[in-house]
Structure 1
Amino acid sequence: MQVSLVCCQSAGAEAQIVNKEKVSSLLRQVEEGSAKLLDVRTPEEFNRGAIPGALNLDIRSEEFSEQLEHLDKDKPVILYCQSGFRSNKAAGILLSLGFTQVLDYKGGYSDWYR
């Protein structure tokens, strides 16, 4: 079952809430470079374990928005954190910066390894 809800909006753009099944199906695109998987947790959390292929960009870092500028705004970006709060906040930031395909994995890392 694919979840297809909206988590947040910015200037008419919406982020899509996705589940573990959808994230799993997108990992091939991440491997091929046609999508990005962003772990928005702290480096310490990331170093304790992450979803394969994820890039760690800490949402609490002062450079977070600047680091996002290096990503392709037209490619899918899948966001996750530990459980969903920080990824939801990150989704709003990406949308405000003009990213067009933002997906928020609500279960986050806690759900991934259950």
Structure 2
Amino acid sequence: MNKTIYFLFVMVSCTISGQQSSEVISAEKLIELKSEGIKVIDIRTKGEYDQGHIPGVIHIDFLGDDFLEKIRKEGASEPIIIHCASGGRSAKAAKILKEDGFERVYDYSGGFKEWSSKGLEIERE
């Protein structure tokens, strides 16, 4: 898919009922936003998280019964970055969060698989 078509696809995909949904970001943008103090939330399972994660993230399992309750504690008016393994869960979570009133949600759609494949720093439990 060339960059123009991909850009148009993302722009169309990010519009839900005339409302901007999450912004899909790259690893480089995640690093930039994280350095500005924006929280990064890893929504993978505990097992995935324990095998390796981006340093300094908050872990909240998207598949957990209390996902929404826990993530609301981070503040719906504060920008957040979410990521999963490779983008599937984070796209679903971003939609849910926007519908729940979160104002600014960044979706690192490359996820931990892309992060680790780029050789970027990881931590292990």
TM class, shorter-length:
0.7 to 0.9
Q: Which residue of 2 aligns with 1:79?
A: 82
Alignment length (residue pairs): 108
More strand per residue: 1 or 2?
Answer: 1
Percent identical residues: 34
1:110 equivalent in alignment to 2:110: no
**Contact 1:36 1:76 (C-alpha < 8 Å) held by counterparts:** yes
Kept in 2, the 8 Å contact 1:10–1:95? The answer is: no
Q: Secondary structure at the match of 2:21?
A: strand
Q: Which deviations, in whole Å up to 9, do the C-alpha atoms of 1:36-74 show, x marking residues without a partner?
A: 101010011001111111111111000011112211212
For the pair shown, the structure with the greater C-alpha radius of gyration is 2
Counterpart of 1:83 in structure 2: which amino acid?
S
**Equivalence for 1:16:** 23
Distance of 1:9 and 1:95 partners within structure 2: 11
1:39 corresponds, among 37, 42, 45, to: 42
Counterpart residue number, 2:121: none
**Whole-angstrom CA distance in 2 between matches of 1:54 and 1:10:** 28
Task: Give, in whole Å, the separation in 2 of the partners of 1:74 and 1:106.
Answer: 22
Task: Name the aligned partner's letter for residue 113 of structure 2.
Answer: S
Taking the aligned partners of 1:84 and 1:57, their CA distance within structure 2 comes to: 15
Segments of 5+ residues of structure 1 without an aligned counterpart are none
TM-score for both structures, normalised by structure 1: 0.85
> Does structure 1 residue 25 correspond to structure 2 residue 32?
yes
State the match for 1:66 in structure 2: 69
